[in-house]
Amino acid sequence: MDFMYLYLPVALTSINILVPVGLGLAVGLLSGLFGVGGGFLMTPLLIMFGIPSTVAAATDSNQIVAASTSGTYAHWKVGNVDFKMGLYLLIGGFIGGLFGVQAIKILKATGNADFVIKMTYVIMLGVVGTYMFIESLNSMKKSKNQSQESVVRSQESGMTKFLKSLPFQTHFEKSGVTHSTLLPIIFGGFVGVLAAIMGVGGGFLMVPVMVYILRMPMHVVVGTSLFQILFNCIEVTFLQAYTNHNVDFILAVLLLLGSTVGAQVGAVFGRKLKGEQLKIILAVIVLVVTAEIVLELTLTPSLLIAQGGGH
Amino acid sequence: MKKVRSRKSEVRSLTNILVMTLLFLFGLTLSATKASADLTIKANHDHIKVDFFYHGSSVSVAGDADSGTDLIIKIASPDGHEVLKQKGKVGGLLWMNTGTLNFEQTPDLYSIHSTKKIEDILGPEETDKYVIGYPALSRHIRISPALGEEEKEKWFGEFVKYKESSNLYTASSGKIMTTVKDGKQTYYIMTQWPYQAPPGDYLVTVYAVKDKQVIEKAETNVSVEQVGTIKALAGMAKNRAALYGVISIIAALAAGFGVGLIFRKGGGAH
């Protein structure tokens, strides 16, 4: 069955074409459904199939460019991309990324970068997953029990008041919300710092920020998140190709064959689900990934030696 | 005059002895060359081309040897160095990267095959001299930061496990097939060339072993080279990185839009 294998010129290894196409399809589906890049799933899976860790991360960002273009396009067609919000988040994310890279340098100098990175990752995933899970479970219950809604409204008003008091208020038409422009820039920056430290795209953090802090409707969140992931990944792909020579074009093409189609299917399927349903499924996936990472950290690895680079 | 003559004859006889000795030594050398010509080696694929559909290769190594000798075949790349992360337990609970190890004088590919177990047919001095077998390799490799004997053994073991997991290190005994005919021995082994072995030149050496000593060796080369599109892409990724990055991004954007358009046409409006 050698004809099923293709040689990858940068990864310097050979892979069964069904593996990247299948992985692309699955991760693209999640991307179109939830507005995440899926790097937290794809990179470790590629490493498992023998791709060097540095090439896996870099090539994944190239592939995400295709999947998020496909996904953004699908969501834009039905008016679910808030370009204005996406732009402010991007500005924040870009500034945050610069700080994050500096933070990594400082961490590496202190010598326990790996510990801090891993713990940040596990804690962020765990907290975000748990919060989303509980919140979406509650809101699913609430939608059945309308009487509780007034309580939620009064709880919200405190935070809303504070947010309204911030300068540079502007209306985001697509999302139907009014915020200070500082808000998406600051939180975009916050996600940017963490994403740079953890070496991931940060979609799984950006989605909750948009849902819970910016109060955007879930379907617009997915489209807008994909839009800003697209631009982040274009930047990362270029830097990875230019400075590290780690992007494998053939592997990226195999992955995007699956992921671009997956993203379309995900976008179509997502429209049939309610916001709460989407949130709770994403929460479960994030929690499963958290559990998997915790297991990986506690079980004795089969190899005590690994390539440098990657997390 | 007499004295002169006798001196002349002395010189003549000395010259004769010298010539005789030289001839004798020359004869010896000739016979030695003849003996080493008995050991031959040939690899059936000495030029492996890496194209799109490359998935490793089968390389057979064969040749003639003196009967009564044991054989060891070593396939190795030139010594290089590798920087690897070591994992350890942090706080007695979590496995993490705890440091970096530099492995110096390490071949990227190291494959050793012998007719019998190496320790049974070759003395330790000889194995170390020719770097034959994992124990000899462990003494050849330098690991930094410097480790104690026990630690070095542990991390060398882990290094071999790591290399074996990607088929770059292999060791076998008893897999070389030999036949003896008319006092001459021929040998043959089929090896799987791993696709993980990067492009480069590899040295294949056969050692004829007798009385725990290497008595002869013969060498041949196997080169692995990327060709066609694979070569062009790998070269571009390295030498024209900016253009390569831009093309990768444009291809991804085009694919994303393309699939989006196909779905709009095929899937109708949702």
Compute, in degrees rounded to 10, the torsion defined by CA atoms B44, B47, B52, B57: 30
Cβ–Cβ gap A241/B95 under 8 Å: no
Cβ–Cβ gap A305/B253 under 8 Å: no
Nearest Cα to B112, choosing from B170, B166, B62, B158? B170
Per-residue pLDDT at B190 exceeds 90: yes
Q: A19: which strand partners?
A: none
Q: Is B265 domain-assigned?
A: no
CATH number at residue B109: 2.60.40.1930
Boundaries of domain holding B58? 37-229
Question: What are B37-68's pLDDT values in tens digits?
Answer: 589 999 988 899 999 999 999 999 999 999 88
CB of B186 closer than 8 Å to CB of B71: no
Q: What are φ and ψ of residue B43, in 5° steps?
A: -105, 135
Of A249, A257, A304, the CB nearest to B248: A249
Q: With contacts defined as CB-CB under 8 Å, which chain A residues touch B159?
A: 305
Shortest CA distance from B234: residue in chain A? A9
Nearest Cα to A283, choosing from A42, A34, A37, A67? A34
pLDDT tens, residue order, chain A (311 aa): 566 999 999 999 999 999 999 999 999 999 889 888 888 888 888 988 889 888 888 899 899 999 999 999 999 998 899 999 999 999 998 888 888 878 877 877 776 677 777 888 889 889 989 998 998 888 888 776 654 444 445 555 677 777 778 888 888 888 888 888 899 999 899 888 888 777 777 888 888 889 888 889 988 999 999 999 998 889 889 988 998 888 999 999 999 999 999 999 998 988 888 888 888 998 998 899 889 888 888 888 888 888 765 44
Residue A39 sits at the vertex; the CA angle it makes with A194 and A220, to the nearest 5 degrees, is 80
The pLDDT of residue B20 is 60
* Model ipTM value: 0.85
Of B97, B233, B256, the CB nearest to A70: B256
Interface of A with B in 102-121 (CB under 8 A): 114-115, 118
CB of A93 closer than 8 Å to CB of A228: yes
Per-residue pLDDT at B32 exceeds 70: no
pLDDT greater at residue A133 or residue B3 = A133
**DSSP H or E segment with residue B255:** helix B241-267
The pLDDT of residue B6 is 55
Per-residue pLDDT at B255 exceeds 90: yes
How many percent of chain B have pLDDT more than 70? 84
Q: How far are the Cα atoms of A173, A187, A237, B235, B264 from residue B238, in angstroms, in the given order?
A: 45, 37, 15, 5, 38
Domain count of the fold of chain B: 1
Q: Is B28 domain-assigned?
A: no
Question: What are B200-215's pLDDT values in tens digits?
Answer: 999 999 999 999 999 9
Q: How far apart are CA B196 and CA B115, in angstroms?
A: 26
Question: What are B78-112's pLDDT values in tens digits?
Answer: 999 999 988 888 888 888 888 889 999 999 999 99
Boundaries of domain holding A252? 2-298
Q: How far apart are CA B82 and CA B246, in angstroms?
A: 31
Per-residue pLDDT at B137 exceeds 70: yes
Q: Is A228 domain-assigned?
A: yes
Of B53, B241, B248, the CB nearest to A252: B248
The pLDDT of residue B246 is 96
Q: Is B202 domain-assigned?
A: yes
Cβ–Cβ gap B53/A296 under 8 Å: no
Contacts of residues B211-216 at CB distance under 8 Å and 24 or more positions apart, as own/partner, are B212/B121, B212/B122, B212/B123, B212/B126, B213/B122, B213/B123, B213/B126, B214/B122, B214/B126, B214/B129, B214/B130, B215/B69, B216/B35, B216/B36, B216/B38, B216/B39, B216/B65, B216/B66, B216/B69
Domain count of the fold of chain A: 1
Cβ–Cβ gap A305/B55 under 8 Å: no
The pLDDT of residue A150 is 47
Cβ–Cβ gap B51/A7 under 8 Å: yes
pLDDT greater at residue B35 or residue A174 = A174
Per-residue pLDDT at B244 exceeds 90: yes
Per-residue pLDDT at B33 exceeds 60: no
Cβ–Cβ gap A68/B256 under 8 Å: yes
**DSSP H or E segment with residue B13:** helix B2-36
Q: With contacts defined as CB-CB under 8 Å, which chain B residues touch A237?
A: 245, 248-249, 252
Of A239, A245, A261, the CB nearest to B259: A261
Interface of A with B in 170-199 (CB under 8 A): none
The full DSSP string for A38-94 is -HHHHHHHHHHTT--HHHHHHHHHHHHHHHHHHHHHHHHHTT---HHHHHHHHHHHH
Question: What are B157-169's pLDDT values in tens digits?
Answer: 999 999 999 899 9
Q: Is A306 domain-assigned?
A: no
Band of the pLDDT at B135, cuts 50, 70, 90? very high
Cβ–Cβ gap A237/B252 under 8 Å: yes
Interface contact A62, partner B, CB < 8 A? yes
> How close A15 comes to chain B (CA, Å)?
8
> How close B40 comes to chain A (CA, Å)?
32
Band of the pLDDT at B7, cuts 50, 70, 90? low
Pairing label, strands B213-226, B47-50 = parallel
Q: Is A311 domain-assigned?
A: no
Q: Is B269 domain-assigned?
A: no
Mutant choice from A68, A249, A271 vs B, greatest count of B C-beta within 10 A: A249
The pLDDT of residue B59 is 93
> For chain B, give me the number of helices (H) and strands (E)?
7, 13
Band of the pLDDT at B12, cuts 50, 70, 90? low
Count other Cβ atoms within 10 Å, centred on residue B187.
23
Q: How many CB pairs below 8 A link A and B? A: 187
The pLDDT of residue A13 is 92
Q: How far apart are CA B160 and CA A174, in angstroms?
A: 58
